[in-house]
Amino acid sequence: MPPTSPSRFYALVPCAGVGERAGTVGPKQYAALAGATVVGHTLRALARVDRLQQVLVVLSPGDSRFEGCVPWFAGWVARIGGTTRAETVARGLDELARRGATPDDWVLVHDAARCMVRAEWIDALIDACADDDIGGLLALPLADTLKDERSGRVAATVDRAGKWQAQTPQMFRLGLMREALARAGPQVTDEAGAIEALGHAPKLVRGAFENFKLTFPADFDLAERLLRTR
């Protein structure tokens, strides 16, 4: 049945990871970047999206750095993060429900480490998915040739036709996402994968190359240059 009142839009930012591959001192989301921190840039972009009812940041239980890094942040914070991304997001969804979000409300899950995101890309995702039956995600068609690897050598060339690189935000209704993550288990790597496991086909909304996730040391150098030239 369609919702009886207009659905609201929430953002959920899982921010409980440690970023072991990033080579930073401490969690990568708190690394200094272009005059701020990684998570600071991320939250600034979300704050520019007028349709978001609220932004919830999910931290690890022992996090003591967040408020010092983004003292201006006026959204919701919950120190309930789990050991995996899926567990952190699932707990965040429970927290949104506890704070009044309904199963029909939309939740946009966005990586704290995708600090290059722009408000207009998020708005484009909302425009594309607000009337969709399932929801969707920002993604980018693959341009490079793909190789399957075995023992450090090429085992096969993989057909790249029709393949997309998933990004965030990923936007689904709270009720559907809670069910999907509960069934998929803690090892699922993104929300769209959990939705797919229920037999649904999320909508692909073209994103941008700049919306990459800071993962390796070189990513921080590239992000620094891009942010300073904006």
181-212 pLDDT, tens digit per residue, is 999 988 899 999 999 999 999 999 999 999 99
This prediction has a pTM of 0.92
Q: Which domains does the chain have, with CATH numbers?
A: 9-228 (3.90.550.10)
- pLDDT confidence of residue 19: 52
Please, what's the b/e burial string for 93-113 (b: 16 or more CB within 10 A of its CB; e: otherwise)?
A: bebbbeeebeebbbbbbbbbb
The residues, ordered by sequence, that sit 6+ positions from 113 with a Cβ below 8 Å of its Cβ are 17, 19, 28, 29, 38, 42, 213, 214, 215
Please count the CA atoms within 13 angstroms of the CA of 131 that sit on its side-chain side: 2
Residues 108, 109, 114, 115, CA torsion sign: positive
Q: What confidence category does residue 1 fall into, taking pLDDT thresholds of 50, 70 and 90?
A: very low
The predicted-structure confidence for 119-138, as pLDDT tens digits, reads as follows: 999 999 999 999 999 999 99
Q: Do 43 and 111 form a contact (C-beta atoms < 8 A)? A: no
At 60 the three-state DSSP class reads coil
pLDDT bracket for residue 159 (50, 70, 90): confident
- Supply the pLDDT for residue 22: 47
